[in-house]
Amino acid sequence: MIQGRINDFCMLLVMGAKRGTDADDDAENGGRHPVRSNASTGPKGSRGFSDESQEFISLCTRLIRLSHTFFWAQTATVSNGLTDDDEYIDDAATCHVPIDDEHIGPLLLSPYGLKALVDAGQLTQEEKAGLMGTGLPPNQYAYTLLVWVGVHCSTALRNGVLCGGAGYEENIFRQLATLRACMFDIDDFRAGRMQLAYVQLVQVLVDSLMLLSPFALYPECGILSVPLVGILTLFFKGLLSLSKSFLDPFGVEGYQEQNIRVDVLVSELNFGASSRWIRSASYIPPTPAARAPSSS
């Protein structure tokens, strides 16, 4: 749901952003329209965004992608994908701070991690100082970035960088509010799950069923009970392992058979928020001219 709301927000963002014009169109209109920022070789039409819109879209998509990354960084998980990379393993051996599975998320939210994001061009020095200057704990940085995105959208609507009526404004802010609710829901679901004692009880029941099934089946099925017991064991053990993965979807308590891959979620969202919608709106074909009705 988080990925869906962010994609909805980014799509609305590029749909309402102020469009640019070609240089030749600008000359034909006496210089009344700004030159578009991203040139296209296609036929004349609505191609690209104005310079201020391009800067605004880049800012908002970068901040909302960081908010998504920070949210998963403050969520305990062992499926971050970093341990699959040889370069990560080499860095972990020489780094002076722990960057194992339990510490990689908090490390990204620490001053050390924020500095690395500044060096990578994903944060500005002012944004880093702003995050640390809020006085909030690092696990709240994701929500701080959401507020910043909302403030930038409000300013863009007042300045005409985003064009749309009251319905558009209400929709784009509703997507941000729904995104915040989805983030809170995930934390609530993780904290309010069933008690571990219930899982232990199910484990004992399944083990007891598998232990007693040969004695129960042999009087009725004879030698056929041997493959039947094997099938029952395969089914119930697999179902039990799957249920444990549902209970611990991020694998932090040892149930790592089937886990949510946080690295996949982040990479898929980064593509959608940074490329898909911006490229989709880079060229809008011209509307066909209305034809005059033919006289009979």
Tens of pLDDT, residues 249-277: 666 666 555 667 777 777 778 777 777 88
Q: Please check the confidence at residue 148 and state whether its pLDDT lies above 90.
A: yes
Task: Give the Cα separation of 60 and 250 in Å (integer).
Answer: 29
Q: Determine the average pLDDT of the residues in 244-251.
A: 70
Kindly report the average pLDDT of the chain as a whole number: 76
Percent above pLDDT 70 for the chain:
69
Q: Which of 60-64, 200-204, 248-252 is predicted with the least confidence, judged by mean pLDDT?
A: 248-252
Q: Would you place residue 144 in the very low, low, confident or very high pLDDT band (cuts 50, 70, 90)?
A: very high
Q: Is the pLDDT of residue 12 over 60?
A: yes
pLDDT at 152 over 70: yes
Is the pLDDT score of 56 beyond 70?
Answer: yes
Given this model, what pLDDT does residue 195 score? Answer: 58
Rounded mean pLDDT, 234-245: 78
| pLDDT mean over 175-182 | 90
Minimum mean pLDDT range among 86-100, 106-120, 157-171, 199-213: 86-100
pLDDT given at position 34: 44
- Residues 32-54, mean pLDDT to the nearest whole number: 58
Residue bearing the bigger pLDDT, 237 or 178 = 178
Q: pTM above the 0.75 mark?
A: no
Residue 40 has pLDDT above 60, yes or no: no
Least confident of 26-30, 52-56, 188-192: 26-30
pLDDT of residue 143: 92
pLDDT at 25: 47
Q: Side-chain half-sphere of 197: how many Cα atoms within 13 Å?
A: 0
Cβ atoms 49, 21 nearer than 8 A: no
pLDDT over threshold 70, residue 289: no
pLDDT tier for residue 197 given thresholds of 50, 70 and 90? low
